[in-house]
């Protein structure tokens, strides 16, 4: 018998596993790689919504928590995947510059917005009105983290690299059984895979596909992340991630020619040197109607938990949300109502 079965090993799965490990629980993870949001992610931990210059939801609480989480995890795994970064927001108009100054004046935003304009010093970047700088932003190289986390679980015999067949789950009164494996509880961290999960697919997970181009650009020589209509993220060795778009209609992980054309058109407005596309990746963000995570216990089966709906901010929100879920499932604390799936109880009856 194990304490917990975890289904899915993206950002939510890792956050959940780390909380279980911190509580000295023995867990086994099922993961099949069918969803790619965490692998595809830009990896930015950014406290500010850069379209409207608003503070991200509970950023003051989530950001320090997440920073400590990733610092601790990279020490545990013995690999570097977490770093500070310089994040610049390109100004498109003078009016935008003014809005930036107004936002930087607000006490809530002041710790995160540098109250000035950086002139553009890179001749290969087009930014005549300069940039605002976001303070306290960080970067998680999600691909490296996932790869090393998987390897660690594999070595310890805690990873089953197979599809979890939802129909094969047997729910007993105070435990669950899956293909002969008995556990006190099961926690689903299946991302957009939730759509196939009969226990939770009543929840309003919408999904928003995003695509990135990976380009090589020797002349660019840029070290800051630049946000214009898209992000330009330096990855080292003259490689940059360029994206991502938002598509609410296509729910596949397949890169498209339409997105490639869109991203390239936007990129050409940002830089004026030649580049080569070396990769193109896509994933579906697990977004929710009310933009809040989907966390909690199944209404009829309290031994079944869910950590999902991390939307576009899984890096910052995931570790905090995992802690809330574990506390709720072990009866030590109630969930904050705004993340509790209880808010969607009525949808089950429909
Ligand atoms: C293009 C793009 C850019 C993004 N950029 C950022 C960013 O810069 N910063 C940020 O904070 N967030 C970003 N996000 C959002 C972030 O990636 C998500 O919030 C996060 O990855 C969600 O993690 P998850 O673990 O819930 O889902 P996923 O990463 O989708 O993981 C779910 C896992 O469950 C597995 N799974 C599903 N069903 C089954 C099953 N039946 N059996 C076994 N395994 C199963 C899948 O294979 C997958 O490994 C971005 C997302 C995208 C798509």
Residues with CB under 6 A from ligand 1: 7-13, 30-35, 37-38, 40-44, 163-164, 189-193, 210, 212, 243-244, 283, 285-286, 308, 310-316
Q: Identify which of 18, 38, 334 has the alpha carbon closest to the alpha carbon of residue 190.
A: 38
Protein residue whose Cα sits closest to atom 35 of ligand 1: 8
Is residue 221 left, alpha or beta, with left meaning phi > 0 and alpha meaning psi from -120 to 50? left
Predicted pLDDT at 348: 84
Phi-psi region of 236 (alpha: psi -120 to 50; beta: other; left: phi over 0): left
16 neighbors 187 (Cβ within 8 angstroms): yes
Q: Is the peptide bond before 244 cis (omega within 30 degrees of 0)?
A: yes
Q: How many CB atoms lie within 10 A of CB 348?
A: 13
Burial of 155 by CB count in 10 Å (0-12 exposed, 13-18 middle, 19+ buried)? exposed
Pocket test of ligand 1: the residue of 19, 29, 38 to mutate, having most ligand atoms within 8 Å of its CB, is 38
CA pair distance 73, 129, nearest whole angstrom: 39
Distances (CA, A) of 102 to 54, 109, 119, 345: 11, 10, 19, 41
Please tell me the predicted confidence (pLDDT) of residue 350: 53
Atom of ligand 1 nearest to the CA of 283: 53
In angstroms, rounded to a whole number, what is the distance separating the alpha carbons of residues 306 and 324? 11
| Bridging pattern class, strands 304-308 and 181-188 | parallel
Q: Hey, what are 97's tokens?
A: 């510059």
Residue 184 CB burial class (10 angstroms; 0-12, 13-18, ≥19): middle
Handedness of CA 43, 48, 49, 55 (dihedral sign): positive
> What structural domains and CATH numbers belong to the chain?
2-41+143-206+289-349 (3.50.50.60), 208-285 (3.30.9.10)
Q: How far is the CA of 183 from the centre of ligand 1 (A)?
A: 25
User: From CA 90, how far away is CA 226, in angstroms rounded?
Assistant: 7
Three-state SS at 10: coil
Q: In what order do the strands lie in the sheet with 138-140?
A: 44-45, 138-140, 82-84
Q: Which residues contact 37 (CB under 8 A, 6 or more apart)?
A: 10, 11, 191, 192, 283, 284, 285, 286, 314
Cα 260 to averaged position of ligand 1 atoms, centre (Å): 21
Two structure tokens written together for 172: 């007993």
Q: What does each of the 350 residues of the chain score in pLDDT, given as a tens digit?
A: 999 999 999 999 999 999 999 999 999 999 999 999 999 999 999 999 998 899 999 999 999 999 999 999 999 999 999 999 999 999 999 999 999 999 999 999 999 999 999 999 999 999 999 999 999 999 999 999 999 999 999 999 999 999 999 999 999 999 999 999 999 999 999 999 999 999 999 999 999 999 999 999 999 999 999 999 999 999 999 999 999 999 999 999 999 999 999 999 999 999 999 999 999 999 999 999 999 999 999 999 999 999 999 999 999 999 999 999 999 999 989 999 999 999 999 898 65
At 349 the pLDDT is 65
Sign of CA dihedral 164, 286, 47, 342: negative
Measured by CA distance, the residue closest to atom 52 of ligand 1 is 41
Token match 């050409």: residue?
Answer: 268
Cα gap 45→59, rounded to integer Å: 10
Spacing, Cα 1 to ligand 1 middle (Å): 28
Ligand 1 nearest atom to the CA of residue 307, by list position: 26
Tokens representing 86 are 């310089």
Q: Using the atom order of ligand 1, give the atom closest to the CA of residue 192.
A: 30
Ligand 1 center–CA 314 separation, angstroms: 8
List b or e across 19-35, with b for residues whose CB sees 16 or more CB atoms inside 10 angstroms: bbeeeebebbbbbeeeb
pLDDT at 52: 87
The DSSP line for 63-125 is: HHHHHHHHHHHHHHHT---EEE--EEEE--SHHHHHHHHHHHHSTTTTTTB-SS-BPP--TTB
Q: What's the confidence (pLDDT) of residue 6?
A: 98
């Amino acid at each position: 018998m194990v304490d917990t079965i975890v289904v899915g090993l993206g950002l939510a799965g890792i956050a959940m596993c780390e909380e279980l490990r911190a509580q000295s629980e023995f867990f086994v993870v099922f993961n099949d790689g069918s969803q790619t949001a965490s692998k595809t992610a830009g990896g930015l931990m950014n406290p500010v919504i850069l379209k409207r210059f608003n503070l991200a939801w509970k950023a003051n609480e989530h950001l320090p928590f997440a920073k400590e989480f990733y610092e601790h995890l990279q020490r545990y795994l013995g690999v570097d995947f977490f770093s500070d970064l310089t994040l610049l927001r390109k100004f498109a108009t003078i009016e935008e510059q003014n809005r930036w100054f107004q936002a930087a004046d607000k006490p809530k935003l002041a710790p995160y917005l540098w109250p000035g304009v950086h002139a553009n010093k890179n001749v290969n970047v087009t930014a005549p009105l300069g940039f605002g700088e976001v303070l306290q932003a960080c970067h998680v190289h999600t691909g490296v983290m996932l790869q090393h986390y998987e390897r660690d679980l594999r070595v310890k015999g805690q990873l089953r690299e197979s599809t979890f067949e939802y129909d094969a789950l047997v729910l007993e009164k105070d435990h669950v059984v899956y293909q002969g494996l008995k556990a006190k509880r099961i926690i689903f961290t299946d991302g957009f895979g939730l759509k196939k999960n009969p226990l939770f697919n009543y929840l309003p997970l919408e999904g928003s596909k995003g695509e990135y181009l990976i380009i090589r650009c020797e002349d660019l020589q840029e070290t800051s992340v630049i946000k214009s209509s898209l992000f330009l993220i330096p990855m080292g060795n003259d490689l940059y991630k360029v994206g991502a778009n938002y598509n609410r209609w296509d729910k596949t992980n397949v890169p498209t020619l339409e997105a490639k054309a869109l991203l390239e058109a936007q990129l050409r407005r940002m830089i004026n040197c030649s580049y080569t596309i070396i990769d193109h990746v896509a994933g579906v963000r697990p977004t929710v109607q009310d933009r809040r995570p989907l966390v909690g216990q199944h209404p009829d089966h309290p031994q079944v938990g869910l950590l999902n709906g991390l939307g576009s901010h899984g890096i910052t929100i995931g570790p905090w949300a995992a802690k809330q879920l574990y506390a709720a499932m072990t009866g030590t604390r109630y969930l904050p109502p705004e993340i509790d799936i209880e808010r969607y109880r009525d949808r089950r009856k429909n």
